[in-house]
Amino acid sequence: MAKTRVVVVDDSALVRSLLSEIINRQPDMECVGAAADPYVAREMIRNTNPDVITLDVEMPRMDGIDFLGKLMRLRPTPVVMVSTLTERGADVTLRALELGAVDFVAKPKIGVADGLRQLAEEITDKVRIASKAHLKRLAVPVAGPSAGHGESAPARPAAPSSIGRLSTEKIVFIGASTGGTEATKEVLMQLPPDSPAVMITQHMPAGFTKSYAARLDGLCRIRVAEARDGERVLPGHAYIAPGGMHLSVERSGANYIARVQAGEPVNRHMPSVEVLFKSAARVVGPNALGIMLTGMGADGAKAMREMRDAGSYNFVQDEASCVVFGMPREAIAHGAAHEVLPLTQIAPKLIERLRSTAGMSINRV
């Protein structure tokens, strides 16, 4: 079987050496080049035609974000961002994901050598996933170095009309992983301010979900925030599972509340979609609507079937519009899906479903 060919782009000689070593130790991949800056990388990519690029954000002569924007316009190639900046500069990481990076790894601020060795499995897993990702050419002009400070934010879509009188019992549950930051944004930006509450588990490490929620809050008509343990779950609000914590829903008298708790990883993830969806099946039952978006693996697939068995109505993203058709494929295989749709159709169909069932709810006190 042909090996996955990887080009490493990083201004640190140590990091280039370590990443090359980590990649070359894998039987199914090889590092075909390592570049210290984007200009060297450009020639190297042209000559070696890699399957995946690992890219640092902060480099001399041209920063990684500018380079990524040019790359995705002219020669779309799967990219995994590997950078110290991504840990404290979550906004930069989110900008990279907007521009088409498949995923990211946050290398530690200190103890880089040991830290990268500990991250070897995560790095190589993400390179494997990236090598199979579906990419789309970036059509829009990319803003300059100030990108990510407002002027490059996507315009809101045309305002959807209000859904109408809805039961506050309804809750929408979203699960996503690789490619999911942009897919979730696509769904949420189409929701009107009077939509039901939305609870979201997106696989993301601690330190990133707060910035992600703030970014979405500035783009959407509903309010978006990181979930806080014990808070009421209200219509017109979206709640994102904090990185490194599980999110679930519970009943407290007449209200739904968010539960945010530490615990063991489930399906290797924390937060885990399985945890959120299981709570939806148990607590919300037929008043739940489930959405499974792009992502690697099978996290949440079984629990989404449990949601369906408990009476929920479920939407699953189709293969053509997924960055990685893993979690959606597994959800379909488990018989969890009522509708399998292109990403752009999920929010309109969700709104249509909500309007058709407006006023109908099943009390589960």
Q: At what angle do helices 13-24 and 120-131 cross, to 10 degrees?
A: 70
Sequence-ordered strand ranges (E) for 11-107: 29-35, 52-55, 79-83, 103-106
> In this structure, are residues 187 and 315 in contact, taking their beta carbons and an 8 Å threshold?
no
- Tens of pLDDT along the chain (365 residues) come to 799 999 999 998 999 999 999 999 999 999 999 999 999 999 999 999 999 999 988 777 788 899 999 999 999 999 999 876 555 568 888 999 999 999 998 877 667 778 778 889 999 999 999 999 998 766 554 444 333 333 344 555 565 667 776 666 899 999 999 999 999 999 999 999 999 999 999 999 888 899 999 999 999 999 999 999 999 999 999 999 999 999 999 999 999 999 999 999 999 999 999 999 999 999 999 999 999 999 999 999 999 999 999 999 999 999 999 999 999 999 999 999 999 999 999 999 999 999 988 766 555 44
CA–CA gap between residue 262 and residue 247 (Å, rounded): 9
Of 79, 119, 120, nearest to 97 by C-alpha is: 79
Q: Where in the chain is the domain with CATH 3.40.50.2300?
A: 4-131
> In this structure, are residues 250 and 257 in contact, taking their beta carbons and an 8 Å threshold?
yes
Mark residue 203 as left, alpha or beta (left: phi above 0; alpha: psi -120 to 50; beta: remaining): beta
- Given the candidates 3.40.50.880, 2.10.109.10, 3.40.50.300, 3.40.50.2300, the CATH classification of the domain at 4-131 is 3.40.50.2300
Which CA distances in Å does 165 have to 171, 289, 290?
A: 14, 17, 20
CA–CA gap between residue 303 and residue 269 (Å, rounded): 14
**What does residue 258 show for φ and ψ, rounded to 5 degrees?**
-85, 135
Residues designated catalytic: 177, 203, 299
CA–CA gap between residue 343 and residue 289 (Å, rounded): 16
- Name the CATH topology of 171-356: Rossmann fold (3.40.50)
Express the helix, strand and coil content of the chain in percent, nearest 5 each. 35, 20, 40
CA–CA gap between residue 203 and residue 213 (Å, rounded): 13
